Structure 1
Amino acid sequence: MKIAIAGGSGFVGTALIDELSKENHDIYILTRHPEKFKKQTNLTYIGWLTEEATPEMHLEGLEVFINLAGESLNSGRWTPERKRRIVESRIEASKEMNRIISILPSKVSVIINASAIGYYGISDDETFTETSESIGDDFLARTVQLWEKEAAKSRSYSKRMIFTRFGVILGEKDGALPMIAFPYKLFGGGKIGKGNQWLSWIHIHDAVRAIIFCMNDARIEGPVNFTAPNPVQMDTFGKTIGTVLHRPHWLTVPPFFLKNLLGEMSILVLEGQNVLPTKLKEEGFTFSFPTLKEALQNILKEDSHV
């Protein structure tokens, strides 16, 4: 298949390209700086989001558009300027995706647009599935709502559109896990905040497999929760890290400390939501790492023997 990927240099994009490259697809990576990369077998870098870029010239016959572009939520303290960039980077990428797809001579088979479970808002009590409405009015919820609304304009130019609502993606070197696990390696791990906030997580390997699963399954469209079937509360998350690394779980990081350190960004670890992957399970997706202990044992395997 001919596949375009925006945001291919990020955490998910890099892993996804590695996996798709094994399947002999023709992959086009949209980037502001295509000159930095050399064309590889079945992998071409093309310019976008610059004045001179005309990515549509390379994308005739496109079957799949995967949009993962946007400034990382973990890129630093959420100052007003950074919040502006987080929102605008996603809206800008979605608008350009809409423009490109609207002028292609034929409809693409499927658009897969990154999203996040932040859409649902924060709750210690509710359980969310793809049919749940948003209850959120925080920065993350508003950002995701705007993001999906803009991207949804491409729906009329595709046969299917999917919003991958990612939970916390666990990986060895990227995402939130290295930051959370680091204190445990120094024997200083413990409960973060009140400890009962939900963490809906997914192993990076399953996140990539689920994208490809959705791409290939014509029955799937609309929002899809990319979370493992067994979310945990933050205190359990920490205890499991301690168990896997053979380290104590004994300190407490009070909420006020993280709020002072991270500002509004502290919502990423102090608040959460219990989100289930109902649609993936109904369509027959099988998780390689359905439980947190299995996921952490795989990711932290080298450190767990120290």
Structure 2
Amino acid sequence: MFHWKKEKHPQVKHTIVYFDTDKDTAGRFESRHSTNKRLDIEVCSNISELLSRIDQHPTKPIDLILIDFYSKLPVSQCSEREVESYKSSLEPEKASITEVIMDFQKHKDHINQQIDKVWLREGLNAADTLIDYFEYKQIDDIQIGMYSMLGRRLIASKDASRLQSKGVVWVWKSKDGLLKECANDAHLTTVSEEAVANSEFDSIHSAILSKKLRGIRVSEVIGDLKDARTSHLLTLFALVISLIFNFSNFDFGIGHLDWFGYMSALIVLFVSIKGVYKTLSKLKALSSRNFT
């Protein structure tokens, strides 16, 4: 009789909680990934609902909370006619690198001004709320992802640094819909929904994996620290025993017991130093790599 071996790493289905105040776009995202056997998509359209779902995390684990960076204003503050394109006055052949950089910043500022007339940066507010709530609930095993086409390029440096320091990652979002809307060109080549879903899944999976890899590395370091602590305690114990027998008249029939104690302490101390060195090396390697 043949026995099938169990898979060491069976296929895992990741739980994604997608936060978007626009229920239409949230529904399209959920539909786009409905056939993916590796993803279980849940949708939240307000922050209260999202926090309530996080409360269920101990019994219904969440792998990734994906936040749509921009959301539409309830009422647009401008009409399309008011949105004017930024025109550069530079001559490309004569412009210096400094001038090109300054011109790019002006483009960026102009785009942000126009975007703020029609979209809210709801993703930033939501991320701040989640970060504080995670700290309050002592949750450190949920990855936060920011879902945006342009947010990563347009976000202020201060906000970008803050999000990165908290482990927030950016998840790829297709620009295809925006291009079709703006180009108004019947001959424009568009990307299929399947291709969009595939690219999104690749980015989502990388975001989840980065969090899990970091958890594994940290667990390894913690394990080494515990081993080093045990070695230190054994070292202390051996030294105390050796001192006791060195300064007492106890005789248990073992010759040169003080020498035996010191040799034991020396061996344990060597193991301890080796363990600490190994731990420090891993800590340095961990700090030099960006898993988030």
Largest Rg, 1 or 2: 2
- TM class, shorter-length: 0.3 to 0.5
Give the structure, 1 or 2, with the largest relative contact order (CA under 8 Å, sep 6 or more): 1
| Bigger strand share | 1
User: TM-score, normalized by length of structure 2?
Assistant: 0.41
